Structure 1
Amino acid sequence: MKSDRRNWPAAFVVCTTIACHAGACAEDGPAGITIPRVFGPFDRNAAGCNPPPSLNKSLAFAQDNDREFVKGIARGVAMAAKDRGLSFSASVADNSAEKMIEQVDGFRDARTGGLVVAPVDPAALAPALRRMIWQGAYVGAVVPPPATSLLNAPQYLTGKVLGDAAGNYIRGKLGGKANVVILTHDSLQFLAPRFAAMRDVLKDIPGADVVADISPPTVNKEGGYKMMQTILLAHPDVDVVLGADTVVLGALQAVREAGKERPDQFFGGIDGEVEAVTEIKKGGPYKISISLASSVFGYAMGQHAADWLDGKSIPQAMDILPSALTASNMRQYEADLANPAAVFNDSARRDAYLKMYGNICYDTRDQYVSFPWSSESR
């Protein structure tokens, strides 16, 4: 389906083929910002522009799967939609790239005004997202481009916060020696810096033996469970397990079923999953989760979508700042997740979770982010 060129900004270059002059276009529309750049701080007082014409006051969320972290995003987006008077719908692709493309194309055909997406296959989905952007919709992406507004965590810092916590535990509680498992997402290049940071921390601990450094077959609890079952066949005594909460929770289940759970083990994850929080409260092997407060940034993205539809300027990019979630700070974290509107409307609390960069609106949407943006230099 061709995009409607009547709705393009004046700066858009008219293209008819994939082979656009000097690479200025992608398929049948502008390619956005493809060369990495540093965005300045978001200017909340920047002039707005025109609201998108002929789009519905609606907001959708295309989910890769139904893990708790993603459900947290959905809750935040839905709450923002309600607060701003937008209709809301969500689709779950069940880890199928083809299904997600069909769902996003359906949202475009319905002239949905705003879309938040957690992609299954970023490269395969990119053309469908560009068509949404060319039609005039807000597109907010969780980590990979393209997007009018792209959200990312400082990935190396996120991994380092977890790695440092594990390193301190190995030195202070395990006598400097540990068999370590890292369950990676290295196949998703945008998340690879997390695991590079963990490796950098552990290589400075002579007694930390990384017995497995591998990606599970699927990035969910089942994938972590199956991978850990395999690892335990060769390495039955594991002291430390690191990765995303959803896969680390699966690994913990496998360790329990094998009768290898110990209270002095260190299981640590990223995302602040509800089940991980429950495990931390128990005081067992699960010691820490690096929170990315998904309902808080989901709410922010929903607010930005509503602003876009009102013709306001919004951030081109946004950091979700990592924080170490432990039993000592659990109460405030849970309160923030339950009421993300209160966090968003309190600048001090919002700034503890989010940092915003650049400006974009409907009239300047040819400046959408089409490179793997990160605020980090590495």
Structure 2
Amino acid sequence: MKPKLRMKEREASMNVSRRTVLGAIGLGMALPSRSWAQEAPRGITAPRVFGSFDRNAARCAAPPGLRKILVFAQDNNREFVQGAARGMTLAAQQRGLAFEIALADNNPATMVEHVQRAISDRTGALITAPIDVATLAPVVRRFIAQGGYVGSIVPPPATTILNAPQLATGKALGDAAAAYIKTKLGGEARVVLLTHDTNQFLAQRFVAIRASLKAVPGVRIIADISPRTVDKAGGEATMRTILLAHSRIDVVLGADTVVLGALAALREARLARDEQFIGGIDGEPEALAEMRKGGPYKASISLASPIFGYALAQHAADWLEGKSVPQGLDILPTALTRESLLGFEADLADPAAVYQDPSRRDAYLRSYGNICYDSRSEFVDFGWSSEMK
């Protein structure tokens, strides 16, 4: 059963036109008689280190007057977030939640409209993969103030922030690339970094990658750039531009989705070689398929999106039942190679079994802090990471 895509179907019925909404947002004007125009209170804004999550914490009140619906405000259709949506779908079905996907197609204004509609519908739970934090954050705070659960994939604000330890994630990929350069490329390589440096919450992974590469004297970084969009099209377009100046590239590193686009551009230009090291982050299915074939795609640092999607949806259901949920959720990086794929793919195929088995779950997820409806004012409103000291 596919999740309903009701958000897009209902946009035409909004009482305030899209032009009025977007114009008001862009100019900082007040929206006419809409609850989302009111300034919502902030949560925890000063960085804080959370202790371990207490799974036996006392129950609190269930949010009153909210509908048992989980909406996923999805940024685009890259495989990483599709995997998260698969996990959410399964958990929602098991917990009796209706599930809807609100696809923004990389348009920040569309995502804002989707969350505004969720507020009007008194939706009970929201999971976001934000495109533009500045425009989305005010309406997310309104959703939280209404009593709903919010899980966010990396940026605040949210009831539960899902993040990877970014330095550890980047180091895993950087170290794998550095080792390959030393052992297979004679210690010399021309490297392209396709970064997320425009996203302050992901930039640390590339700090770690650069540090790993700096330890190899023969490395030359010929491009260090953030693609315009975090998808295959963005990676492909960026690599085509790079190839205008550089015909030899030995290593390409970044998120799987943009690196896959870069590989497509290399193949189009007939500059892909089996001895190259193409490596990504996220463990996307297409990246894993490339690794199985052999060839230039050598490694992916998995963040197991079906497993964390399943966990976030479980927390959403717990929240609506008056249970305590984590404030921070680590998705732990797993370095994948061609030889280690089988067991990993079995776990992705059955995220429910992983989540229910503490030893298997702890290999992928780590939970911090406690929050429930009664303490909802303590939502996370800063860029949380477990690597904070």
**TM-score > 0.5, shorter chain as reference:** yes
The offset of 1:30, in angstroms, is 2.5
Partner of 1:231: 242
Equivalence for 1:245 = 256
CA distance in 2, matches of 1:264, 1:28: 55
The letter for the 2-side match of 1:326 is T
Q: Which residue of 2 aligns with 1:41?
A: 52
Residue of structure 2 equivalent to 1:151? 162
Q: What percent identity do the matched residue pairs reach?
A: 63
- Could you tell me how far 1:276 is from its partner in structure 2? 0.3
Give 1:284-363 correspondences, 5 Å limit: 284-363=295-374
Q: Distance in 2 between matches of 1:87 and 1:29?
A: 27
Deviations 1:80-106 (A, max 9, x none): 000101111001101111000000111
Return the letter of the residue paired with 2:347: D
1:194 corresponds to which residue? 205
1:165-219 CA distance string (max 9 Å, x none): 0000000100000000000010011000011111111111110000100111211
- Distance in 2, Cα, partners of 1:29 & 1:99: 20
> What is the Cα deviation at residue 377 of structure 1?
3.2
For residues 112 and 332 of structure 1, the distance between their equivalents in structure 2, rounded to whole angstroms, comes to 37
Tell me what 2:85 maps to. Answer: 74
Give, in angstroms, the shift of residue 28 of structure 1. Answer: 3.3
- Runs of 5+ consecutive residues of structure 2 not aligned to the other structure: 1-29, 31-36
Question: Equivalent of 2:216, from 182, 198, 205?
Answer: 205
1:138-177 → structure 2 map (5 Å cutoff): 138-177=149-188
SS of aligned partner of 2:310: helix
SS in 1 for 2:61: coil
1:31 Cα offset (Å) = 0.8
Give the structure 1 partner of residue 40 of structure 2: 29
Aligned mates of 2:290, 2:103 — CA distance in 1: 26
Q: Which runs of 4+ in 1 moved over 6 A?
A: none
Q: Which moved more, 1:353-362 or 1:195-204?
A: 195-204
Where 1:235 maps in the other structure, the secondary structure is coil
CA RMSD of aligned residues (A): 1.2
For residues 386 and 298 of structure 2, what CA distance do their matches in structure 1 show? 28
CA drift of 1:29 comes to 3.4
TM-score of the aligned structures, taking structure 2 as reference length: 0.90
Matched to 1:199, the amino acid is R
Q: State how far apart, in whole Å, the 2-side matches of 1:107 and 1:295 are.
A: 23
* Counterpart position of 2:14: none
Q: 1:264 aligns with which of 275, 278, 292?
A: 275
Query: Matched residues in 1 for 2:60 and 2:124: separation?
Result: 16
SS at match of 2:229: coil
Structure 1: gaps spanning 5 or more residues:
3-25
Matched length:
354
Conserved in 1, the CA contact under 8 Å of 2:154 and 2:163?
yes
**In structure 2, C-alpha distance between the alignment counterparts of 1:217 and 1:29, rounded to whole Å:** 31
Q: Tell me how far apart the structure 1 counterparts of residues 120 and 90 of structure 2 sit (CA, whole Å).
A: 24
Aligned mates of 1:71, 1:135 — CA distance in 2: 28
CA distance in 1 between counterparts of 2:388 and 2:150 reads 25
1:273 to 257, 273, 284: 284
